[in-house]
Chain A
Amino acid sequence: MPNLDEIDLKIMRATQAGLPLTARPYHTVAEQLELSAAEVIERMRRMQELGVIRRIGAVPNHYQLGYRFNGMTVWNVPDEQVDALGQKIGRLDFVSHCYRRPRHLPLWPYNLFAMVHGKSQEAVDRQIERIAEILGDDNLGSEVLYSTRILKKTGFRSR
């Protein structure tokens, strides 16, 4: 973990739900925390350099933008190939998350996860075919898990 102190964490807590919609938002945060604006700006720039802040900007609501179809695609690929393949799949512009995760045999043989998003079922079906093409012979089996219901969605505290 990078060297973050209590002041960084305070800035994180004050901004994770959103940046103030004021002309000088970092000053607004600084006032709330009784810090100088220069310090807030400097610390946030550092957190961005460290990757603690992944990005700053608009986080659209998928559903509101018409991306109503999403599928969690899971693939069984050889462990020796998973990194190279994961990087290729992660580069596809319709993939929002791509991770290697552990298998749980025999129930769960899949080690590569890619979440895909589209505005229609047909679009998602084409995306899945595209992934299968890229994996080729390294695709030892796959499934697509569609969500049927959101049971809880509170958003992360810190993400």
Chain B
Amino acid sequence: MDEIDRRIINALQTGFPISERPYLEAAQALGLSERELLERLETLLQEQTLSRFGPLYDAEAMGGALTLAAMRVPEERFEEVAGIVNGFQEVAHNYARRHTLNMWFVLATETPEQLRDTLDEIERRTGLTVYDMPKITEYFVGLKLEA
């Protein structure tokens, strides 16, 4: 990653145009050619410096449902429970965290009913309580990372 890549990442985290030639517009603002911007974006994606380039949709605005859930998993059962939880395709992320509640996962489903059903099914299959922590209010989402 060189100085030009850094400028691209810093400038293009928001505000990419919806227009005929959006890469051309973005490139001109950066003093680059359209071709160079496209090539560099392709490399940044291949190297996984960027995890994605494109629109970020709001799952809930699309009618879907999302929640954060936590479990208190006995150490000796941790791998087994992780296997059960990860087996649900509705589980998008799952993290081990240092806390009494030691497993934290995000569920994303197309409807709120599927969310409830999945949480119930996880409780049934693991025999453990799932603490559901849906967002009540969102104060901020998004972060500009300085490259």
Which residues of chain A have a CB within 8 Å of any CB of chain B? 1-2, 4, 9, 12, 15-19, 21-27, 37, 41, 44-45, 47-48, 50-62, 64-65, 67, 72, 82-83, 86-87, 89-91, 93-102, 104, 107-108, 113, 117, 143, 145-159
Chain A residues with Cβ below 8 Å from B100 are 107
- Shortest beta-carbon distance, B47 to chain A, in Å? 7
Chain B residues with Cβ below 8 Å from A83 are 137, 139
Q: Tell me the bound Cα distance from A146 to B95 in angstroms.
A: 9
Q: Are A57 and B108 in contact (CB under 8 A)?
A: no
Residue of B nearest to A61 (CB): B51
Task: From B41, B57, B93, B108, name the one whose CB has the most chain A CB atoms within 10 angstroms.
Answer: B57
Tell me if A's interface is mostly helix, strand, loop or mixed. mixed
Chain B residues with Cβ below 8 Å from A143 are 99
For chain B, residues 37 to 85, give those with C-beta under 8 angstroms from any C-beta of chain A: 38, 41-42, 44-45, 47-59, 61-64, 66, 68, 70, 72, 82, 85
Report the contact-size class of chain B (Cβ under 8 Å from the partner). Answer: 35 or more
Q: Tell me the bound Cα distance from A22 to B44 in angstroms.
A: 15
Q: Tell me the bound Cα distance from A38 to B96 in angstroms.
A: 46
Provide a sorted-by-A list of 14 A–B residue pairs whose CB atoms are within 8 angstroms.
Answer: A15-B54, A24-B20, A41-B19, A45-B18, A51-B61, A54-B56, A55-B14, A64-B49, A95-B140, A96-B143, A107-B100, A107-B131, A108-B101, A156-B92
For chain B, residues 116 to 144, give those with C-beta under 8 angstroms from any C-beta of chain A: 131-144
Q: Are A62 and B38 in contact (CB under 8 A)?
A: no
Residue of B nearest to A84 (CB): B139
Chain B residues with Cβ below 8 Å from A96 are 140-143
Q: Are B45 and A9 in contact (CB under 8 A)?
A: no
